[in-house]
Structure 1
Amino acid sequence: MFALQSRVACALRFALKRRSTLLCAWFCCLGLLLFLASVPLSLSIQIQFGWGVVALLLVLRLTGAARRWRLFFLLLCCQLTLRYVYWRTTSTLGYNGPFDLLAAVLLYLAELYGIVVALLGIFVNVAPVRREPVPLPADRSQWPTVDILIPSYNEPLDMLDITLRAALNIRYPRDRFHVYLLDDGGTVQKRAQADPLKAAEAWSRHRALQELTARLGARYLTRERNEHAKAGNINAALAHVSSDLVAILDADHVPTVDFLEKTTGFFLADEKMFLVQTPHFFINPDPVEKNLQMFGQMPSESEMFYSVIQPGLDFWNAAFFCGSAAILRRRCLDEVGGIQGNSITEDAETALELHARGYHSAFLGIPLISGLQPETFTAFVVQRVRWAQGMIQIFLLKNPLLQPGLKIWQRLCYFSSSFFWFFGYARMVFLLAPLAYLLFGLQIYNASFTEVLAYGFPHVVGVMLMSDLLFGEVRWAFISELYELMQAFFALPGILQVLRNPRAPTFNVTPKGEQLDTDFISRLAGPFYLVYLLVLIGVGFAAWRFFAYPLHRDITLVTLGWNLFNLLLLNAAMGALFERRQRRQFPRMPVDLDARLTVDAPGECCACRVDDLSMHGALVLGSLATPLTSGARGRISIFDTVSQEWLELSVLVRSSRPAEKGGLAIGVQFINETQEQISRIALLMYGDSRRWQSYREERKQRIGFMRSFGLLILLGGRYAFAHYRSIAQQAARYAFDLLLYYSLPWRRALGRFWRKCCRWVLDEQDVSRDSVKS
């Protein structure tokens, strides 16, 4: 153990020296590039230089040399950007009137924001670290003790049941870890509240969770009052636990069996290690993926952070705590008073405090948990606005650039992580800026088309190529724009709230495990309609301006192109705002497991493979020639790759159809499971980290800019139509209801007239009969 710690100490000293060297090299190169950016060139020479560098970048990218010449490639991108910034600052900010100046400054600041974020992104990701687990000693008595804390507020019991079972299934000496459920929905304050219905609900939850933990073998903790949200819940639990390490899991984050085996070794190797963070891996689509039906076909939106940015931060000893799927050293938490609570992103704030005290963190890029993303766009916005507000709280209340104790590279990394969340401002400015010229004729960008061609377009292409090199496998260019646009409408008001009062935001729990029975339009679609209408009007004004001002046609065409791009983004956003049904509470995941299926009637048995699996059922590919009857009973034996044992379950056939490659695709539902079998199913479903890693890698793929742009157009055209059709149907129903409402007096008058006519006819008939009789 001492030899291992000595090797780690040597590695840390080498890393510190390498960081210092790279930091010096970065500042030297940046100074040189700033000097070169200010060298005056004629417009024709600048066009040749800018597009010559773009051509070189394209050659490096297309030949695959960009990865080998990574730093050189990034420096070329920086040169194009810095030259653009110098020209933009010195040549385009003229005074044309107060409103023109205001719009021009807002656009300039938005561009400056994007450029700072791009430069910081290059710095952060200059040398990402890819770690492997540190092995634990053979003597298990030397393994650290761990308390696994699972904070809960209002999550369904079924969700908590699975997470607790999986936590208790972890492959670690049973006497060296304990599992705690921290119930914030059944606190004494909740049970004693004045509203009798809410109090009864809290009592019911309190008793149900006590019974659940007792049945499974976990421990139940609650507290007196709901103070400081999740941070307060964890800190209250720390008073009742005493292990060396603390593992924190969200209620929907189901751990794999090797969660502790792969993470705790870092703490034995490095006494100053305070955090080991692992990725948040999700097995269900986020609302954009679900509504655009792209889940599994493109990288998850979170992959850029967990596959690129966190490894980049890890090189600079700045990988931070993400609230779950992490292990922390208890001694370090006690030193700073537990989880911090000055901001609503208590996780990053805690990491900032401990990094400032000289402690180390590590990011292990192996998915060791599987979680759930928000199912609706409303829940998605609640989560992202909380992140944005919390990181800007850190930016304002604990400015990383001024925080004592941080190394200069850590200051830049934390500044990058918090400053990024101002994207809501920049994205809204980029959306509305073309309209300032097209609708009102404001001069917000004092440049000719030739100057834009010389400076602007090379800079844009350079930024796109830089982003493709750093993030191309995990974040597609125009899909990234779509995600940021959809969040910006709501992030910007949240940002303004924090700027007015940094302590105003409160912690909002993200809804998870929601089920949607019908398709519907998100209730947050209203702002998108307004901006969509304005952008459409801008297209019409562009056509008018093209003919009315022939001398400005070049600028009109450039602005129109910008506006049309925004229209394409908004069109795709309309598709993502049409919420699709979500009936499954537990998602199914693709697997490839050996199995044997026996059906009672017609009494057949065959070897088969499990193609996908959930906690309640599976899809089995078998060689049976005769379709099975729905409702038939049988048994299935599935080989568990984690325990290396066969799991036998009773099943009910729900569906049977011919498979694409022959045989039958049989949907089965598990029935009559014992408590032990349910735990085994949870182990089978969630226990194997290799499955999550394989699935994660399969989703990583790089596509070109043209394919990404074509995909944006396709998604907007295909899925926005359902949104528009729903609007038309609702409008037709509303119009029909209005027609019925306003026509009610006329219909009543017609009814009275019709009844009078009927009575008159009947009276005439009676008179005729009487006359005939007489």
Structure 2
Amino acid sequence: MVAVRLLVILTLVTGANYILWRWLASLNWDAWWIAVPLVAAETYSLIDVLLFGMTVWRIKHRTPPAAAPPDTTVDVFVTTYNEPLELVMRTALAAQRIRHPHSTWILDDGNRAELRQLAARHGLGYVTRSTEWEGMPRHAKAGNLNNALMMTSGEFLLILDADQVPSPDILDKTLGYFNHHQVALVQTPQYFINVPDSDPLGSQAPLFYGPIQQGKDGWNAAFFCGSNAVLRREALMQLGLVGYVRETEKSVRRALDASRSAIRKARRTAAGAPELLQQTLDEVEAATLEARRRLDDGEPLSEITYRVRRRVDLAVQTVVQADLSALQSDLAEIAAMSAVEVGEAGVPVVTDDAIQRLSAHDWSPLGAIESVQAVLDALSVERTGEAQPVMPLATISVTEDMATAMRMHAMGWHSVYHHEILAHGLAPEDLGTMLTQRLRWAQGTIQVFLRENPLVQRGLSLGQRLMYFATMWSYFSGFAAVVYFAAPVIYLLFGILPVSSLSADFFVRFIPFMVVNQILFAVAGRGIPTWRGQQYSLALFPTWIKACTTAARNVWFGRPLDFAVTPKDRQDGGPRWALIRPQIVVSVLLVLAAIAGIGRLVAGMSEPIGTFVNVLWMLFDLLVMSILVRAVRYRGFRTDDSGEPDAGTIEARTERTANGPEL
């Protein structure tokens, strides 16, 4: 731990020394269009490595907890949509053999009669969506889990993906953490048995399911990863109730503020209006002010909304005269106003269209009153736009896990990362499936970042904010990668340097930073392989960029994400080179640029040191990209005739990881 912290401090010092010099003294302003993007990309990378340093600053090595009470009730959920029946049943039957007393449930979002029959034959619980979900938002896996929560009753939930086969002792080793009554989540690693040692698709993530999650655990920020986790039902239900109340209160506040704005605007046109109409405006405004005060005092929302609607209705009933021509125009405006829609958390909310029209339109006095009535009538504390009133797991993202964990942490709950492999899963066995999976992960993370930025979430500690932000920040690496690929190409083709010169000042700052950076990863990882992860963080730049842009369009403009479930079996067909077309283009450009750069050097058109550095840079970029050639050609893990991973391989891996993860 001392060595890690010393390296973090050295990384901070050398990195800050390099980046400050780059910004203040080294930029080639004649080529600002590449100089500024490059130093911005380097700054991004420094922030990224410092966030990693902060993560591993508090690596937590836990000791086994005391045993949980034997009468602790647990529901084991096996989630499935369209996975092969034999795969689902393999996991469900293994879950049935878990030693601690529990109930095993198959959560079939595909509503398959064959799976229902298999579950009944083996004495397994079977849950699918009820008729209440017809025509309602389904929320993918989060909706599947929320539906099952309302149909079961265990104190704790073990959530497993359809391919994650649990060990019989998974509950024996995790339930004891819940003796601490503030613990809401215990996450264990995800480990895959169908991955060769070379891991061509980068599936194992040993750095994440190791120092990173252990470091987050030290900051009480280890988060839910969607499977192989035990959660406290009480925490989830509290989360659902609090989230519902917050969204409803937010909608009521917006409606009341917009109503007051409309009434104030109407006063400008009320000069000379009958006194009765003036009094009605006063009464409506007083009703909204009183409702806002009651809201601040924490009174029940249903009573507040009922009272304000009742007072406004009574005020309108006293109006017996109005300017009918002005009113008819305003009534047409009101009719065109879409007053209510289903919000992100499933709560009916007053639409932005209604708020904007209320605030911006110059209403006649009676038209303003009628518009306020229309918006207040749209308010409801009932969840009419959802299949069920409470949604415990977050539905703001295509991945429910991170947002749910962050909300629990913000409410004061604790989490635990148990660093031991207690379930064995199946990783993608072709590049296309892997890209689908990584895209969904990244999209979900960016959705959470844009909707509930952890840096501004109430209830989170500073460490928790930064731990969540670190994961979200990492998915912006695609933009930095484009700059890192472009810079050497531009120099080798045109001789344009983004720095003022490649002098000794550059090397004495850059080299120490890079060396210390790599040593930090090596020491923090305690010998685990990290190179594959570094390759994919750069090589998958089109996927990361697509994730950021599509998630932003979804959050800001409501564009669909075209969500897809990751296939659990190998996709047939030969190598699909089209999947990496952008990377192929970049690689060809790098090679052509290197040839051109050497030619320019021979012709005396460029400096030897600049050419040498940029050719080395180009070779590093090609080395990073080379993993994609293996990934495209990868034909899946070696299997025996039954289609299962070789028994000898599984036995050897299980033996190596019996006392902890193979990380």
Pick closer, same or farther for the CA change 1:484–1:612 going to 2, 3 Å: closer
Query: TM-score, length-normalised on structure 2?
Result: 0.72
Identity of aligned residues (%): 34
Q: 1:461 aligns with which of 507, 511, 515?
A: 515
Measure, in 2, the Cα distance between the counterparts of 1:581 and 1:551: 46
Does the Cα contact within 8 Å between 2:189 and 2:420 map onto a contact in 1?
yes
Pick closer, same or farther for the CA change 1:391–1:119 going to 2, 3 Å: same
* Deviation readout 1:697-728 (Å, 9 max, x if unpaired): 5x55xxxxxxxxxxxxxxxxxxxxxxxxxxxx
Residues 491-640 of structure 1 aligned to structure 2 (within 5 Å): 491-502=544-555, 504=559, 505-514=561-570, 516=572, 520-549=575-604, 552-580=607-635, 584=639, 586-588=643-645, 611-612=648-649
**Residue of structure 2 equivalent to 1:359:** 413
User: What is the Cα deviation at residue 386 of structure 1?
Assistant: 1.2
Measure, in 2, the Cα distance between the counterparts of 1:507 and 1:429: 29
Q: 1:448 aligns with which of 488, 497, 502?
A: 502
User: What is the Cα deviation at residue 550 of structure 1?
Assistant: 5.3
Q: 1:184 aligns with which of 92, 109, 114?
A: 109
Measure, in 1, the Cα distance between the counterparts of 2:196 and 2:44: 27
CA RMSD of aligned residues (A): 2.5
User: What is the Cα deviation at residue 278 of structure 1?
Assistant: 0.5
Q: 2:87 aligns with which of 134, 139, 159?
A: 159
User: What is the Cα deviation at residue 466 of structure 1?
Assistant: 1.5
**Residue of structure 1 equivalent to 2:67:** 136
Does the Cα contact within 8 Å between 2:8 and 2:54 map onto a contact in 1?
no
State the SS of the aligned residue for 2:536: helix
Which letter does structure 2 place at the counterpart of 1:377? L
- The count of aligned residue pairs is 502
Which letter does structure 2 place at the counterpart of 1:466? L
User: What is the Cα deviation at residue 272 of structure 1?
Assistant: 1.1
- 1:277 matches 2:334: no
User: What is the Cα deviation at residue 500 of structure 1?
Assistant: 3.8
Gaps of 5+ in 2: 241-391
Which letter does structure 2 place at the counterpart of 1:531? V
* Deviation readout 1:463-503 (Å, 9 max, x if unpaired): 111221112522333x3332223322322122122234435
Measure, in 2, the Cα distance between the counterparts of 1:554 and 1:147: 64
**Residue of structure 2 equivalent to 1:213:** 119
Does the Cα contact within 8 Å between 2:214 and 2:417 map onto a contact in 1?
yes
User: What is the Cα deviation at residue 101 of structure 1?
Assistant: 1.6
- 1:693 matches 2:657: yes
Query: TM-score, length-normalised on structure 1?
Result: 0.62
Which letter does structure 1 place at the counterpart of 2:189? P
**Residue of structure 1 equivalent to 2:171:** 260
Measure, in 2, the Cα distance between the counterparts of 1:689 and 1:215: 32
**Residue of structure 1 equivalent to 2:524:** 470
Measure, in 1, the Cα distance between the counterparts of 2:142 and 2:494: 49
Pick closer, same or farther for the CA change 1:362–1:455 going to 2, 3 Å: same
Gaps of 5+ in 1: 1-66, 187-205, 292-298, 591-610, 614-684, 701-774
**Residue of structure 1 equivalent to 2:448:** 394
- 1:383 matches 2:437: yes
State the SS of the aligned residue for 2:29: coil
* Deviation readout 1:67-97 (Å, 9 max, x if unpaired): 653322331232111110110110122421x
**Residue of structure 2 equivalent to 1:232:** 143
Which letter does structure 2 place at the counterpart of 1:127? R
Which letter does structure 2 place at the counterpart of 1:106? P
State the SS of the aligned residue for 2:456: coil
**Residue of structure 1 equivalent to 2:394:** 340
**Residue of structure 2 equivalent to 1:73:** 7
**Residue of structure 2 equivalent to 1:648:** none
* Deviation readout 1:729-756 (Å, 9 max, x if unpaired): xxxxxxxxxxxxxxxxxxxxxxxxxxxx
* Deviation readout 1:91-133 (Å, 9 max, x if unpaired): 122421xxx3222222122111110011111111112111233
**Residue of structure 2 equivalent to 1:115:** 46
Does the Cα contact within 8 Å between 1:424 and 1:492 map onto a contact in 2?
yes
Does the Cα contact within 8 Å between 1:288 and 1:377 map onto a contact in 2?
no
Q: 1:124 aligns with which of 35, 49, 55?
A: 55
**Residue of structure 2 equivalent to 1:414:** 468
Which letter does structure 2 place at the counterpart of 1:93? L
* Deviation readout 1:506-544 (Å, 9 max, x if unpaired): 53211112265x753444132232112111111111112
State the SS of the aligned residue for 1:148: strand
Pick closer, same or farther for the CA change 1:696–1:261 going to 2, 3 Å: closer
**Residue of structure 2 equivalent to 1:482:** 535
Of stretches 152-161 and 420-429 in structure 1, the one that deviates more from structure 2 is 420-429
Does the Cα contact within 8 Å between 2:29 and 2:35 map onto a contact in 1?
no
Does the Cα contact within 8 Å between 2:535 and 2:627 map onto a contact in 1?
yes
* Deviation readout 1:349-377 (Å, 9 max, x if unpaired): 00000100111000101111100111111
State the SS of the aligned residue for 1:79: helix
User: What is the Cα deviation at residue 339 of structure 1?
Assistant: 0.6
Measure, in 1, the Cα distance between the counterparts of 2:42 and 2:646: 41
Measure, in 2, the Cα distance between the counterparts of 1:254 and 1:68: 37
Does the Cα contact within 8 Å between 2:200 and 2:627 map onto a contact in 1?
no
**Residue of structure 1 equivalent to 2:480:** 426
Measure, in 1, the Cα distance between the counterparts of 2:405 and 2:653: 26
Measure, in 2, the Cα distance between the counterparts of 1:579 and 1:690: 24
**Residue of structure 2 equivalent to 1:709:** none
Measure, in 2, the Cα distance between the counterparts of 1:76 and 1:350: 35
**Residue of structure 2 equivalent to 1:87:** 21
User: What is the Cα deviation at residue 567 of structure 1?
Assistant: 2.2
**Residue of structure 1 equivalent to 2:254:** none
Measure, in 2, the Cα distance between the counterparts of 1:91 and 1:501: 41
Does the Cα contact within 8 Å between 1:389 and 1:498 map onto a contact in 2?
yes
Which letter does structure 2 place at the counterpart of 1:152? T
Measure, in 1, the Cα distance between the counterparts of 2:231 and 2:428: 26
Measure, in 2, the Cα distance between the counterparts of 1:506 and 1:361: 32
State the SS of the aligned residue for 2:416: strand
Measure, in 2, the Cα distance between the counterparts of 1:419 and 1:612: 37
Which is bigger in relative contact order (C-alpha 8 A, separation at least 6)? 2
Measure, in 2, the Cα distance between the counterparts of 1:500 and 1:433: 29
Measure, in 2, the Cα distance between the counterparts of 1:135 and 1:211: 39
Q: 1:222 aligns with which of 122, 128, 143?
A: 128
User: What is the Cα deviation at residue 577 of structure 1?
Assistant: 1.8
Give 1 or 2: higher strand fraction.
1
User: What is the Cα deviation at residue 695 of structure 1?
Assistant: 8.9
Pick closer, same or farther for the CA change 1:526–1:689 going to 2, 3 Å: closer
Measure, in 2, the Cα distance between the counterparts of 1:480 and 1:689: 21
Pick closer, same or farther for the CA change 1:493–1:469 going to 2, 3 Å: same
Of stretches 222-231 and 355-364 in structure 1, the one that deviates more from structure 2 is 222-231
State the SS of the aligned residue for 1:524: helix
Which letter does structure 2 place at the counterpart of 1:576? A
Q: 2:493 aligns with which of 423, 439, 442?
A: 439
Q: 2:78 aligns with which of 150, 174, 177?
A: 150
User: What is the Cα deviation at residue 690 of structure 1?
Assistant: 6.3
